[in-house]
């Protein structure tokens, strides 16, 4: 029975680790799962702001019961019939949809922030790394059109590994497509606020995530285009330890402010109130 005596403690340890603790991906500290949830996935040791699901983000930022989803039925397309290591893109998407209970890597809709109605797009890193596919770009564009038609502020919460390679050029086209939709908002002086969460990289950081009227980030978020190791190998130089962190990016002028997660709703309301209070002559006819 030696095998049984050895395996039981291992199984017990694994269950305790999975059920009671969360491992911070920044400092490696073990945080009680209840504490992690109560703090909205913020590490009590290093203040690293971990990933949130769209549902958690909605609960954090929007007034209770005000969120109404837009274009929920849009799903990814498979123009190339892509497959890798005997797994097709279609199969991978199907599995991901079942796990996340979502149809794409972004959820879009309307909701209120302390009574101010906004349009939001919230990316989900669980869905193929929050990658930008044709369906993602379409939903972001349609949400921008809804903001344009109804003169509503637009807020995008980005969390992405970049453009989705399985869709080839179609995914890259979404960079221009989304930026074109957002550019229309300026015609009516409609504010677009971009929120960069951990991580925001690749084609998303090179397009709609960095062109907000105000660009905001959470503390410690990874923000960049290519990976740090790729850049170091290309330029043959050692980069700073804090390279591509929100703090580094802000220091070099690419974002406007870093906001603690607990303060996000109030700060967004303050910004939106400022836009609402602008004199009529500054707003489009």
Residue 281 has pLDDT above 80, yes or no: no
Over residues 203-215, the pLDDT tens digits come to: 999 999 999 999 9
How far apart, in whole angstroms, are the C-alpha atoms of residue 239 and residue 154?
Answer: 35
Give domain limits for the chain: 1-48, 49-282
Over residues 157-175, the pLDDT tens digits come to: 999 999 999 999 999 999 9
How far apart, in whole angstroms, are the C-alpha atoms of residue 56 and residue 58?
Answer: 5
- Least confident range from 1-5, 127-131, 260-264: namely 1-5
pTM over 0.85? The answer is yes
Residue 14 has pLDDT above 90, yes or no: no
Cβ count near 15 (within 10 Å): 10
Cβ count near 113 (within 10 Å): 22
Phi, then psi, of 84 in degrees rounded to 5: -150, 125
How far apart, in whole angstroms, are the C-alpha atoms of residue 84 and residue 139?
Answer: 26
Q: Which one is the CATH code of 49-282: 3.40.50.10490, 3.20.20.140, 3.40.50.720, 3.90.226.10?
A: 3.90.226.10
CA distances from 64 to 123, 224, 259 (A): 20, 33, 21
Over residues 238-280, the pLDDT tens digits come to: 999 899 999 999 999 999 999 999 999 999 999 999 988 655 4
Looking at residue 6, its pLDDT comes to 45
Where in the chain does DSSP place strands (E)?
21-23, 30-32, 68-70, 83-84, 87-88, 106-113, 116-123, 154-160, 192-200, 214-217, 257-258
How far apart, in whole angstroms, are the C-alpha atoms of residue 114 and residue 277?
Answer: 15
115 — pLDDT class (breaks 50, 70, 90):
very high
Pairing, β 83-84 against β 30-32: unpaired
């Amino acid at each position: 029975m030696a095998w049984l005596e050895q395996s039981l403690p291992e199984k017990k340890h694994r269950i305790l680790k999975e059920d009671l603790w969360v491992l911070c991906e920044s400092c490696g500290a073990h945080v009680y799962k209840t504490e992690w949830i109560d703090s909205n996935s913020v590490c009590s040791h290093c203040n690293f702001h971990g990933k949130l699901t769209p549902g958690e983000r909605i609960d954090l930022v929007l007034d209770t019961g005000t969120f109404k989803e837009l274009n929920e039925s849009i799903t990814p397309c498979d123009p190339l019939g892509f497959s890798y290591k005997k797994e097709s893109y279609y199969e991978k998407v199907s599995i991901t949809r079942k796990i996340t209970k979502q149809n794409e890597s972004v959820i879009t809709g309307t909701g209120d922030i302390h009574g101010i109605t906004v349009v939001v797009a919230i990316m989900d890193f669980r869905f193929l790394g929050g990658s930008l596919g044709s369906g993602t770009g379409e939903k972001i564009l349609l949400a921008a059109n809804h903001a344009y038609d109804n003169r509503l502020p637009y807020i995008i919460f980005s969390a992405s590994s970049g453009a989705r390679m399985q869709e080839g050029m179609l995914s890259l086209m979404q960079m221009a497509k989304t930026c074109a939709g957002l550019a229309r908002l300026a015609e009516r002086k409609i504010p677009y606020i971009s929120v960069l969460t951990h991580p925001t990289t690749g084609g998303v950081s090179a397009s709609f995530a960095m062109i907000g009227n105000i660009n905001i980030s959470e503390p410690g978020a990874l923000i960049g285009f290519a990976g740090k190791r790729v850049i170091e190998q290309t330029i043959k130089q050692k980069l700073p330890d804090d390279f591509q962190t929100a703090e580094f990016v802000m220091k070099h002028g690419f974002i406007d402010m870093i906001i603690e997660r607990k303060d996000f709703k109030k700060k967004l309301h303050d910004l939106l109130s400022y836009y609402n209070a602008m004199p009529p002559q500054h707003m489009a006819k």
